[in-house]
Structure 1
């Protein structure tokens, strides 16, 4: 038996002038959060699918790596991940690239082992696997 999560989307109108709302009823994190053409392709306040994918990917990758490091005997003091999701509009909209930028403090680990575990997390966290058709880059920096 697996775990199931859900979110809802409501939309009114056409693509460019329409408006939508996203909700995550179980967590309450989003409750009728606005999204639309201008929050996706412009600078209007509101969220967009790419931002939500970036948040999900940053969270999943970071949790996965945290576990990998702990299992290797090097629990992290700090993992800070920025996920950047690019949307290309050439030839129809598509996700064109994802960049994971990680800065970490992990006592007692050498950089080669850290990089190996970070690459493994990039390739194998559940969200990375789901997004495997999108080219992904990782920039992992070990501090201190």
Structure 2
């Protein structure tokens, strides 16, 4: 399976503006920019989107692992807090902290923590955050 997200940007870093879209249409030219990223203004930012993707992927992975253990969650809620820190002359994502609350009949805390750990290790987004990235770049016009 392959899917995609895209971004358009116009202008400089602080005065510019961008729009993020997803192939599914869940985001369609949704605004993002410097103020949304660094000044808590309206719009989204890459770290927020990574957090949403990681929370969603992890929760789905845990649902799979629970099913393999013949368990089904009544409800799970995951938050992925993404930390962007200044490093040298730039910025880096330095941490992602997952917080999970769940209602799962028939499981104790120890088993819950074990299965959640398996989901964290197996989640494709968790793996991506450690993966090598490739790129092609072409200047046009």
TM-score by length of 2: 0.88
Match of 2:47 among 37, 46, 50: 50
Q: May I ask how many residue pairs the two structures share in their alignment?
A: 130
Determine helix, strand or coil for the equivalent of 2:94: strand
CA distance in 1, matches of 2:26, 2:70: 34
CA distance in 2, matches of 1:132, 1:62: 19
Deviation at 1:90, TM superposition (A): 2.9
Match of 2:61 among 61, 64, 88: 64
Residue equivalent to 2:81: 84
Deviation at 1:31, TM superposition (A): 1.1
Equivalent residue runs for 1:1-144 within 5 Å:
3-24=1-22, 26-91=23-88, 92-132=90-130
Q: Cα RMSD between the aligned structures?
A: 1.1
Q: 4+ residue runs of structure 1 moved beyond 6 angstroms? A: none
What 5-or-longer segments of structure 2 have no aligned partner? Answer: 132-141
What 5-or-longer segments of structure 1 have no aligned partner? Answer: 134-144
